[in-house]
Structure 1
Amino acid sequence: MKRSLAILCFLVLAVSACKKEDELSEFVPEFEVFVLFPTEGIGDRSFVDGVYEGIEKTVQTVNFKVNYIIPDSLEAGEQWIQDISELKSDISPEALVIIVGSQYTSALESINGHFGKHFVLGLETTASAQDRLFQVTFHTYASSYVSGYISAQKASPCKALVVAGFDAPFLTEYIQGFNQGVADAGGTVSPPQFLSTGFSGFEMPDSAYRFTNNLLPDHNLLFALSSGSNQGIINAARDFPKQRYVVGVDADQSWMGLTVVTGSVIKRFDKVVFDCIEQFSSGNLNSGNVVLSMDDGSTDFWMNEVVMENTQIPEELIKTAIEKEKEFILSSGGDI
């Protein structure tokens, strides 16, 4: 029978040595965490893997049982959210449910806080405020600006281009920040190109490879905003006969192309996940929404030392990027 959901349940045993030789203490989890991933699941080397790594690090210091849910389709994931109130924990009546990805925003909106006794943490979701829901999103203009400015100097004379999974509103800050950084460094920017019309653009590395091959003759710097498809973009740049450069996203993607990746615009999912789970454990995780940024250290541009050897990011550039981000947010009708 085809299952609509593939549930990977990992019970991480954090054991410590007892005073008696060869005797181990029994691991007793204090609570349970359910994590709903997008359909592409673990292995995108980007957003999802960043969250997964953060959770796996957190279980080393906080006692809990974690269940990873990877739906076969977006519809299956949305149905899982609809049934949150019926979710049963083996440990306690209240569990922490982590929803990963903006594609689940509509499903969260539709259930209007009917989470039963559970608390929900939304990573990159933007539903309206609800009781027992805490949502975390990120401003990425500043870190993208720095990536464009620094990378354009490496690729001089720079002809840059953004290659994104699809034309999604949540990618706007990345695109605008990067383009402005390249322009302020003296480079030129072409209009962004999109792999698809929906979230499938984040999980098609083979198509991304072919798509990127057609762009590389006229561009020497690409900002890869395609999550799981970034492997194809980076491979295409690496295989191109002339030197080309790529900026990665969400997690450090330098290892995917040590000779072509200038660095990655990263989000500190590890810190966010740890802080939220620890707060839930102590009963201090409250409802609300928060937007993190480079100004508080939650986003950054991590350089690849192989490509960017001896390159330093001037403190004044970071200050400029943060100020430009604030100007962009205000001009877009947002709050700082």
Structure 2
Amino acid sequence: MPSTRMIKKARMIIITLLSTYSLTSLANSIKQAPPKICMVLDKGGKDDHSFNESAVNGFNKSLKELAISKDSKFVEPRNDAQIPTFFRNFATSMNCDLIIAIGFNPSDSVPELALKYPNKKFLVVDTNLEEKNKAKNIRSITFQEHDGSFLVGAIAAMKSTSGKVGFIGGMDIPLIHRFETGYTAGAKYINPKIKISTSYVGITPDAWNNPTKAKELALAQYNEGTDVIFQVAANSGQGVFDSAEQMNKKTNHKKQHYAIGVDSNQNWIKPDIIITSMVKRVDNAVFFTIKDFVENKFTSGHTAFGLKDGGVDWAYDQYNKKFYSSSQIKEINSIKEKIINGKITVPDYYEQEKK
């Protein structure tokens, strides 16, 4: 029969083993807790069928396919004052592991936050913050918008019968001038004598969410003879589509007015109006950065995506294929290859500003 001393010793061994097992289990559970990903959208909201919606698609794909916390979330700021508050909450009370800023306006809050919380990781989309990346914890992703815009500018000139095309930007900022510069060059590549009208919705972030104003600007251009407009205006761009539809009804479709979408493939929204979209793969920027983070492959620094890697492109699908002949498709893809191979040099507004 075991002695009392032996029983006590056995109890101590069992208690020690159980304690060790509990601590190990706790450590493993903490270690294996899925990361929390938090994202701030730009003005215009998740249902803009454009820039923000593309970001949300990438985020939702991450929730579905990657091992991230179900407490991960994105927010839609209604005014500028909310943006820094959202970011502070993400870094503190919500304790998010990767914090994402979508667009020019939200990205302004990141450098200071990244420096204050060096253990957090950050992604900014559409802004290069490499010079402000003091803690080396920011990944900046931008796109070669001017190259994609050159391509749809060429398409606009091909499809125009009036010799007049238009451009309507959202907020009057250098990024949107980059689109405009590429678009203008592409249109003139096809028709050096083409006339190009340009308008901007506004000078504040509210310009991204004012379809009424964009519609007024588009109607003015269409009434002056423009027959194709490229809109780069987030949710405001819906007003451009509506104006083209209104003009076609007004002329009983005897004269066709068209539009070009941006960021997401918007061809499906009004298939008789939208001849193509300049696609910018914001969804991939978000998804693959989250994937890198989950797989411990996150790196800081700046990356620019373009035509070569599919970061930007023109949208061709079942909704708009009726607009193109086989020879036009061949010409468009030839222009695309020439840009990729450097045979066509697309002017870059950013480089022009440095001079």
Q: Give the alignment's TM-score, normalised by structure 1.
A: 0.83
- Cα offset for 1:169? 0.2
Q: For the Cα contact (< 8 Å) 1:260–1:307, is it kept in 2?
A: no
**Residue 334 of structure 2, aligned match among 298, 302, 316:** 316
Q: Which amino acid aligns with 2:47?
A: G
CA–CA distance in 2 between the matches of 1:239 and 1:308? 23
Q: Which amino acid aligns with 2:324?
A: M
CA–CA distance in 2 between the matches of 1:103 and 1:140? 18
- Cα offset for 1:112? 5.1
Q: Say whether residues 1:210 and 2:201 are aligned partners.
A: no
Find the counterpart in structure 1 of residue 138 from structure 2.
133
**Matched positions, count:** 303
- The SS at the match of 2:275 is strand
Q: Which amino acid aligns with 2:352?
A: S
In the alignment, structure 2 segments of 5+ residues that lack a partner are 1-31
* Greater displacement, 232-241 / 66-75: 66-75
**In terms of Rg, which structure is larger?**
2
**Residue 122 of structure 1, aligned match among 121, 124, 132:** 124
Deviations 1:265-305 (A, max 9, x none): 11112222221111100111011111111122211011322
CA–CA distance in 2 between the matches of 1:61 and 1:105? 26
Q: For the Cα contact (< 8 Å) 2:42–2:104, is it kept in 1?
A: no
Q: Say whether residues 1:332 and 2:352 are aligned partners.
A: yes
Q: Which amino acid aligns with 1:228?
A: N
Structure that is richer in helix per residue: 2
Alpha-carbon spacing, 1:327–1:180, altered in 2? closer, same or farther (3 Å) = closer
Find the counterpart in structure 2 of residue 78 from structure 1.
84
CA–CA distance in 2 between the matches of 1:112 and 1:96? 11
- The SS at the match of 1:30 is coil
CA–CA distance in 2 between the matches of 1:330 and 1:85? 32
Find the counterpart in structure 1 of residue 168 from structure 2.
163
Alpha-carbon spacing, 1:164–1:329, altered in 2? closer, same or farther (3 Å) = closer
Find the counterpart in structure 2 of residue 102 from structure 1.
104
In the alignment, structure 1 segments of 5+ residues that lack a partner are 1-27
CA–CA distance in 2 between the matches of 1:125 and 1:265? 18
Q: For the Cα contact (< 8 Å) 2:185–2:347, is it kept in 1?
A: no
Alpha-carbon spacing, 1:294–1:164, altered in 2? closer, same or farther (3 Å) = same
* Greater displacement, 106-115 / 230-239: 106-115
Deviations 1:228-272 (A, max 9, x none): 011110110012123111111101111222112110111112222
Alpha-carbon spacing, 1:41–1:281, altered in 2? closer, same or farther (3 Å) = same
Q: For the Cα contact (< 8 Å) 1:129–1:289, is it kept in 2?
A: no
Find the counterpart in structure 2 of residue 146 from structure 1.
151
Find the counterpart in structure 2 of residue 219 from structure 1.
226
- Cα offset for 1:160? 0.9
